[in-house]
């Protein structure tokens, strides 16, 4: 099969880690007989330097014409003094909006080989965990009506949580479809004991569940979910939730894995085209030094194969290669910590992963 992939390398370590993921995709292409065509577009600080804008029109057009898009990271001290509208990070919201991406998939997986990096007690994570948080990305309180008004005690400010049935239905569908590719279990997280919007959320999620009889569905209140994540993270597989709850819980879950350089993410819309990126930033402190951990970006490429291109076997091959490399004790500098292992460079880690594919 042939796929056109848009590359948004961005700033800082972005070019180094995206180059690593491209090498992995090329290897997959060779081994499984696919052709990946890559086109690079400017985004973030490098785009500001070249064009005066963080998200040039050409970039948006290029991404919309691609089958899927892989992003490195944007931003850095060079552009920190710029005004809000032309800051590099503004391009992230812009590209997500232009591609109409309403779903954020945030896996948080604890690799057995990296158990020591988890801040939880060893007995709580004995079996490891592999959580997929499905977060609604374009609705809820971050986008609801807001403002200031005069109230009983003077000036007050308000933000509104509002979800339509359509918004809940489409994110729930993504969660159940994701569960069908995993262990067929969904936990829907809400605050239905207090919020009207959560009661609608729960009702619609259960309507969608009826279309997926093989998937087990459980409701969990968000305050309980925050506790359960640190008490027994292994009980979660796919967790679907609103924009704000997902924002908070996905950061909590990511910390349980102990390593920012390992976590991929995907943003999806109504079509197969998605935006895949590591959750970390542009790491200006190590940019250009061949020190960055490329695994989060390589795993983002694996997610692209799985969710945009339906290449499950190929995605499994990448994830398995990462498992093997970690099991062998190979580490980039961010993962070495206090251990005696010598740190591999970005390109050496990529070479080791390529050897396992
Ligand atoms: P960061 O994630 O870039 O870095 C935090 C720390 O983690 C740094 O010490 C860094 O060296 C380390 N780190 C991050 N990724 C790593 C990797 N792959 N391998 C090894 N170490 C890694 O966050 P920050 O320092 O708060 O932000 C730096 C810049 O990135 C800022 O301009 C910020 O706005 C931007 N940012 C961009 C994105 C994005 O593009 N999606 C996300 C977050 C931050």
Q: Is 110 inside a domain boundary?
A: no
Q: Residues with Cβ < 8 Å from 270, sequence gap 6 or more? A: 100, 102, 170
Using the predicted structure, report yes or no on whether residue 200 has a pLDDT greater than 80: yes
The pLDDT of 257-269, averaged and rounded, is 90
The answer on 249 and 124 residing in a single domain is yes
The pLDDT of 270-280, averaged and rounded, is 95
Question: Which residue, 221, 256, 291, sits at the end of a domain?
Answer: 256
Residues 32-45 have pLDDT tens digits of 999 999 999 999 99
| Cβ–ligand 1 contact at 284 (below 6 Å) | yes
The answer on 54 and 20 residing in a single domain is yes
Q: Is 14 inside a domain boundary?
A: yes
Using the predicted structure, report yes or no on whether residue 338 has a pLDDT greater than 70: no
**Ligand 1 atom 10, closest CA:** 283
Q: What single DSSP character describes residue 41?
A: -
Q: Which two tokens stand for residue 143?
A: 């986008």
Mean pLDDT is lowest, of 3-17, 175-189, 234-248, 329-343, for 329-343
Q: Using CA atoms, how far apart are residues 166 and 180, in angstroms rounded to an integer?
A: 21
Q: Is 95 inside a domain boundary?
A: yes
Q: Is 217 inside a domain boundary?
A: yes
Q: Is 263 inside a domain boundary?
A: no
Q: Is 142 one of the annotated active-site residues of the chain?
A: yes
**What is the percent of the chain with per-residue pLDDT over 90, rounded to a whole number?**
87
Dihedral sign, Cα of residue 20, residue 286, residue 256, residue 113: positive
pLDDT at 166: 97
The answer on 171 and 98 residing in a single domain is no
Q: Residues with Cβ < 8 Å from 346, sequence gap 6 or more? A: 13, 16, 17, 20, 290, 291, 292, 293, 294, 332
The pLDDT of 299-312, averaged and rounded, is 96
247 Cα: distance to centroid of ligand 1 (angstroms): 17
Query: Which residue in 32, 115, 142, 323 is the catalytic one?
Result: 142
The pLDDT of 347-354, averaged and rounded, is 98
pLDDT band with cut points at 50, 70 and 90 for residue 113:
confident
The answer on 172 and 299 residing in a single domain is no
pLDDT at 84: 72
pLDDT band with cut points at 50, 70 and 90 for residue 130:
very high
Q: Using CA atoms, how far apart are residues 231 and 225, in angstroms rounded to an integer?
A: 10
Name the more confident of 118 and 235.
235
139 Cα: distance to centroid of ligand 1 (angstroms): 26
Q: Is 262 inside a domain boundary?
A: no
The answer on 183 and 82 residing in a single domain is no
The answer on 212 and 144 residing in a single domain is yes
The pLDDT of 120-140, averaged and rounded, is 93
pLDDT band with cut points at 50, 70 and 90 for residue 18:
very high
Query: Which residue in 9, 27, 90, 191 is the catalytic one?
Result: 191
pLDDT at 297: 98
Q: Using CA atoms, how far apart are residues 287 and 303, in angstroms rounded to an integer?
A: 25
183 Cα: distance to centroid of ligand 1 (angstroms): 32
Q: Is 78 inside a domain boundary?
A: yes
**Atom nearest to 75 CA in ligand 1:** 32
Q: Using CA atoms, how far apart are residues 353 and 331, in angstroms rounded to an integer?
A: 11
The pLDDT of 54-73, averaged and rounded, is 98
Residue 154 parent element (H or E): strand 154-159
Q: Is 167 inside a domain boundary?
A: yes
Residue 242: CATH number of its domain? 3.40.718.10
The answer on 330 and 243 residing in a single domain is no
Specify the residue for token string 């940019």. Answer: 287
Q: Is 32 one of the annotated active-site residues of the chain?
A: no
pLDDT at 220: 98
pLDDT at 111: 86
Contact 287, 12 (CB under 8 A): yes
| Cβ–ligand 1 contact at 73 (below 6 Å) | yes
Neighbours of 116 (CB within 10 A): 11
pLDDT at 339: 64
pLDDT at 35: 98
What is the rounded average pLDDT for all residues in the chain?
95
Q: Using CA atoms, how far apart are residues 104 and 206, in angstroms rounded to an integer?
A: 20
Q: Using CA atoms, how far apart are residues 5 and 70, in angstroms rounded to an integer?
A: 7
Q: Using CA atoms, how far apart are residues 250 and 264, in angstroms rounded to an integer?
A: 12
pLDDT at 180: 94
Q: Is 191 one of the annotated active-site residues of the chain?
A: yes
Specify the residue for token string 């980039």. Answer: 332
The answer on 197 and 133 residing in a single domain is yes
Dihedral sign, Cα of residue 261, residue 322, residue 312, residue 42: positive
The answer on 252 and 275 residing in a single domain is no
CA neighbor of 262 nearest in space, from 95, 101, 113: 113
Q: Considering its fold, how many domains does the chain have in total?
A: 2
Q: Residues with Cβ < 8 Å from 307, sequence gap 6 or more? A: 105, 266, 268, 272, 274
**Atom nearest to 280 CA in ligand 1:** 2
**Atom nearest to 77 CA in ligand 1:** 32
The answer on 309 and 193 residing in a single domain is no
Question: Domain residues for 312?
Answer: 1-102+271-357
The pLDDT of 91-97, averaged and rounded, is 91
The answer on 124 and 98 residing in a single domain is no
The SS3 assignment for 332 reads strand
The answer on 154 and 250 residing in a single domain is yes
**Atom nearest to 72 CA in ligand 1:** 40
């Amino acid at each position: 099969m042939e796929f056109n992939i848009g590359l948004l390398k961005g700033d800082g370590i972005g070019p180094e880690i995206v180059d690593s993921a491209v090498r992995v995709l090329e290897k997959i292409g060779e081994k499984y007989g696919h052709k990946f065509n890559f086109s690079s577009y400017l985004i973030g600080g490098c785009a500001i330097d070249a064009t005066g804008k963080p998200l040039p029109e050409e970039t948006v057009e290029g991404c919309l014409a691609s089958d899927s898009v892989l992003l490195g990271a944007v931003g850095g001290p060079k552009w920190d003094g710029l005004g809000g509208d032309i800051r590099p990070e503004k391009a992230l919201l812009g590209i997500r909006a232009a591609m109409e991406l309403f779903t954020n998939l945030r896996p948080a997986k604890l690799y057995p080989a990296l158990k020591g990096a988890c801040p939880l007690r060893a007995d709580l994570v004995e079996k490891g965990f592999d959580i997929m948080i499905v977060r609604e990305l374009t609705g809820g309180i971050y986008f609801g009506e807001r403002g200031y008004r005069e109230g009983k005690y003077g000036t007050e400010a308000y933000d509104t949580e509002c979800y339509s049935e359509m918004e809940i239905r489409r994110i729930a569908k993504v969660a159940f479809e994701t569960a069908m590719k995993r262990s067929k279990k969904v936990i829907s997280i809400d605050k239905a004991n207090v919020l009207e919007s959560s009661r609608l959320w729960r009702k619609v999620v259960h309507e969608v569940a009826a279309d997926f009889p093989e998937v087990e569905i459980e409701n969990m209140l968000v305050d309980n979910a925050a506790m359960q994540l640190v008490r027994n993270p292994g009980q979660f597989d796919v967790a679907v939730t609103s924009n704000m709850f997902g924002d908070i819980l996905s950061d909590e879950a990511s910390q349980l894995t102990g390593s920012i350089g390992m976590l991929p993410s995907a943003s999806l819309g109504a079509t197969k085209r998605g935006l895949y990126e590591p959750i970390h930033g542009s790491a200006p402190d190590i940019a250009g030094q061949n020190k960055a951990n490329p695994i989060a970006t390589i795993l983002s490429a694996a997610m692209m194969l799985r969710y945009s291109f339906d290449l499950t076997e190929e995605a499994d091959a990448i994830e398995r290669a990462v498992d093997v490399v970690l099991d062998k004790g190979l580490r980039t500098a961010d993962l070495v910590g206090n251990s005696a292992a010598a740190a591999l460079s970005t390109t050496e880690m990529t070479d080791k992963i390529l050897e396992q594919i």
